Amino acid sequence: MHELLIGVNKKGKPAQGLMWEIAKKYDVHWKTVSRIWAKVKTQKKEGATLDASSKKFGRNNRTIIPFDESKFQALEKAKKTSQQAVAIAMGVSQSTVWRWKKKKHIRKHTNAIKPLLTDTNKNDRLFFCISSCSYDEQINAFKFSDMSNIVHIDEKLFYLTRTQQTYYLTPREPEPHRELQSKRFVPKITFMCVVAKPMYSSEGQLIFDGKIGIFPFTAQVLALRSSKTGREGK
């Protein structure tokens, strides 16, 4: 308020840009400074004592609940699956948990189940890694194979449609009509993809891009007649 009174020009108004500077200095909105200035002008006109203090009663400042890291770590994992569960377990509100997350006291983690490897699986993986190593006489050491003579084959299954599908239509456009005999058994198609490591010449030119092909597991058959058994009528 004192800075506003000092910066008043001859017309009784604050200098241009003064409210913005004060708002930036005290980290408040410029409308807050404008409201205080309007209050001061009214008090000055009435000849009253200048008072720009807050008229709110009671506890005006919000109590900031500190984050207890040891208490949080002692919670069971089942009680830390959502912000609501954390708030109940810690005895605070969800907004407090949200502030802890914003201040990076806690973080969100998506956990995926890992495959349980048996001793046989571990040994097979170890033997595969060993088989990929070869002895190089030039450097007198073992090194991993460049896999130039290895072809990778994998299969991928796709559903032909979804049980729930979203479309964007015009107001007068008819809605698509889709039918399936069973929602639990949606028709699927499988593709087999074959790739390898790309090969380059000594000049750095691409000789082989590594893309061998992708092949569907389908069969071409003659269309059956409309008979229920698929046989021709006599």
Q: What would the pLDDT profile of 31-75 be if each residue is shown by its tens digit?
A: 887 887 777 777 777 777 766 666 666 555 667 889 999 999 999
pLDDT at 131: 87
Taking the C-alpha atoms of residue 223 and residue 2, their distance in angstroms, rounded to an integer, is 92
pLDDT in tens, 87-132: 999 999 999 999 999 999 999 998 888 889 999 999 999 998 888 8
Give residue 43's Cα distance to chain centre.
53
Of residues 164 and 14, more confidence is placed in: 164
Q: Give the chain's radius of gyration (CA, Å).
A: 37
Structure tokens at 148: 């130039």
In sequence order, what are the beta bridge partners of 136?
141
Contact 83, 97 (CB under 8 A): yes
